[in-house]
């Protein structure tokens, strides 16, 4: 069985996917063989620059076409990041989701076998939203600038992420009621909460257009929002704010902003965010076969807008802006969807609420089809650090 088919029958059977991200797999595509089991940390070479996203895990084969990216490389990246960072997303086909709506409150219940979990969500609708005129939605954890979105015809739905999975090693919450004992990071559990909230909205909120969905959160919750975008292709737009390491902060080049969030201190301070395998790269993060740009690139062709404040050194805003974003955009551009990724740099610090208006023109473009004159490739006050992704010089010679 080739890698693509095997992946869909195992690690990826839980996702809402057509050829990974809405692309139909071609039956005659032969994917390079992915090592099985996947290599241990010590087996990978030390790479000080960002790993080439176009090179497969075999270390030698290169992606040759956009069709091959979607059929082979993108599923391999999904397999790899679940193995080495997130843990394996549960099989959603084994779950039953039900919801009860009382006014704008949703009670969500999920059953898998004999186990059940529940949590709640709150719907905030803009004026004019109705079953006959459904509106886009941003699902958020941790709170956002609701009014900015409601005034522009976008619903905001929040859910209690702490009752989905506690931000601790306690393994408490709805997710762990179903999946306790699995080596899965809390970021993946929160992602699952986003997805089950969307399921409930589709069931009980006809005023919301379930095909135009953004996900957001800030800091550790931005890391969770990124995971939400990664693991469900129904998510139209992923909006991680001030997300740092295990979000869109680079593992490599982690010290560009002065203060320093690293693999080591994030794993020590909140080891539960990720699976145990990520811990095996502590002290040797340059052996990781991916970096934040790889995760960002795996979202394509779906939209991604990244928010960072200039005065937010701990999450390495500079590294996200001049290393991760331009490297990911190389992939988006090669796939022909460069307009679907943006970098929103603002003044201000960590989780400044102004971030939500900072990204709003991009959000409006993606979810409502409006135009904007804002240049979301502008990295001022910084400049892209092209030497961190040297493989980009070869991309022009690749087929597309």
**What is the tens place of the pLDDT at every residue in 13-36?**
444 333 334 444 455 678 999 999
**What is the tens place of the pLDDT at every residue in 149-191?**
999 999 999 999 999 999 999 999 999 999 999 999 999 999 9
Residue with tokens 């929040």: 158
Q: State the pLDDT at residue 400.
A: 55
Q: Is residue 44 part of a domain?
A: yes
Domain count, the chain: 2
Separation between Cα atoms, residue 251 and residue 249, nearest integer Å: 7
Q: Are 355 and 344 in contact (CB under 8 A)?
A: yes
Mean local confidence (pLDDT), 263-288: 97
Q: Can you say whether residue 303 is alpha, beta or left, with left for phi > 0 and alpha for psi between -120 and 50 degrees?
A: beta
Q: Is residue 210 part of a domain?
A: yes
This prediction has a pTM of 0.94
183 and 284 assigned to the same domain: yes
Q: Is residue 174 part of a domain?
A: yes
Angstrom CA distances, 147 to 31, 304, 360, stand at 47, 22, 12
327 and 374 assigned to the same domain: yes
28 and 124 assigned to the same domain: no
343 and 199 assigned to the same domain: yes
**What is the tens place of the pLDDT at every residue in 220-230?**
999 999 999 99
Find the domain containing 23 and state its range: 3-86
62 and 142 assigned to the same domain: no
Pairing of strands 105-112, 95-102: antiparallel
Flag whether pLDDT at 278 surpasses 80: yes
Q: Is residue 197 part of a domain?
A: yes
**What is the tens place of the pLDDT at every residue in 35-61?**
999 999 999 999 999 999 999 999 999
Domain boundary (33, 60, 86) is at: 86
Q: DSSP letter for 256, please.
A: T
114 and 79 assigned to the same domain: no
82 and 137 assigned to the same domain: no
Work out the mean pLDDT of the chain and round it to a whole number. 93
Q: State the pLDDT at residue 260.
A: 86
Q: State the pLDDT at residue 22.
A: 41
Q: Is residue 400 part of a domain?
A: no
Separation between Cα atoms, residue 305 and residue 342, nearest integer Å: 5
Separation between Cα atoms, residue 256 and residue 326, nearest integer Å: 15
Q: Is the peptide bond before 26 cis (omega within 30 degrees of 0)?
A: no
Q: Is the peptide bond before 301 cis (omega within 30 degrees of 0)?
A: yes
Picking from 303, 198, 232, 278, the residue whose alpha carbon sits closest to that of residue 89 is 232
Percent of the chain with pLDDT over 70: 92
Which residue blocks in 231-343 are alpha helix, DSSP H? 263-269, 276-279, 292-298, 317-319, 325-334
Would you list the DSSP string of 101-140? EETTEEEEEEEETTEEEEEEEEEEPPTT-BTTB-EEEEEE
Q: State the pLDDT at residue 5.
A: 34
The length of the chain in residues reads 400
Confidence tier at 258 by pLDDT (50, 70, 90): confident
For residues 87-118, b (16+ Cβ closer than 10 Å) or e, as one string?
bbbbebeebebebebeeeebebbbebeeeebb
Cα dihedral 6, 8, 9, 10 sign: positive
Residue with tokens 């998510």: 235
Separation between Cα atoms, residue 277 and residue 183, nearest integer Å: 9
The CATH number assigned to the domain holding 198 equals 3.40.50.1820
Non-local (6+) Cβ contacts of 387 within 8 A are: 49
Angstrom CA distances, 20 to 31, 58, 144, 244, 273, stand at 14, 20, 30, 25, 24
142 and 19 assigned to the same domain: no
User: First and final CA of the chain: distance in angstroms?
Assistant: 26
The residues facing 135 across adjacent strands are: 208
The residues facing 236 across adjacent strands are: none
255 and 362 assigned to the same domain: yes
Pairing of strands 303-309, 341-346: parallel
44 and 120 assigned to the same domain: no
């Amino acid at each position: 069985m080739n890698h693509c088919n095997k992946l869909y029958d195992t690690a990826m059977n839980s996702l809402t996917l057509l050829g990974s991200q809405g692309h139909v797999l071609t039956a005659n595509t032969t994917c390079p063989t992915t090592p099985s089991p996947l290599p241990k940390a010590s087996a990978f070479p030390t790479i000080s620059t960002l790993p080439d996203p176009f090179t497969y895990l075999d270390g030698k084969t290169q992606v040759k076409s956009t069709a091959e990216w979607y059929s082979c490389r993108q599923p391999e990246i999904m397999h790899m990041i679940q193995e080495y960072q997130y843990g394996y997303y549960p099989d959603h086909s084994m779950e039953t989701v039900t919801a009860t709506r009382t006014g704008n409150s949703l009670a969500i219940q999920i059953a898998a076998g004999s186990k059940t979990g529940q949590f709640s969500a709150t719907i905030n609708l803009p004026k004019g939203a109705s079953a006959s005129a459904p509106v886009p939605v941003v699902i958020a954890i941790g709170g956002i600038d609701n009014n900015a979105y409601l005034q522009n015809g976008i619903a905001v739905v929040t859910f209690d992420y702490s009752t989905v999975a506690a931000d601790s090693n306690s393994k408490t919450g709805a997710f762990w009621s179903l999946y306790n004992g699995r080596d899965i990071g809390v970021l993946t559990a929160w992602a699952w909460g986003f997805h089950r909230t969307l399921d409930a909205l589709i069931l009980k909120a006809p005023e919301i257009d379930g095909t135009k969905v953004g996900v957001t959160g800030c800091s550790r919750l931005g890391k969770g929002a990124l995971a939400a975008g990664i693991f469900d292709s129904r998510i139209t737009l992923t909006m991680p704010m001030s997300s740092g390491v295990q979000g869109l902060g680079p593992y490599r080049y982690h010290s560009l902003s002065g203060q320093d969030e690293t693999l080591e201190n994030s794993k020590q301070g909140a080891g539960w965010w990720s699976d145990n395998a990520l811990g095996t790269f502590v002290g040797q993060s340059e052996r990781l076969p991916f970096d934040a740009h790889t995760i960002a690139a795996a979202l394509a062709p779906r939209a991604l807008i990244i928010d960072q404040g200039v005065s937010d050194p701990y999450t390495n805003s500079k590294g996200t802006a001049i290393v991760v974003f331009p490297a990911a955009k190389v992939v988006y551009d090669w796939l022909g969807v460069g307009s679907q990724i943006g970098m929103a740099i603002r003044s201000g610090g960590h989780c400044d609420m102004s971030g939500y208006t900072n990204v709003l023109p991009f959000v409006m473009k993606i979810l409502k089809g409006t135009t904007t004159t804002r240049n979301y490739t502008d990295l001022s006050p910084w400049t892209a650090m092209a030497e961190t992704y040297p493989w980009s010089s070869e991309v022009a010679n690749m087929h597309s």
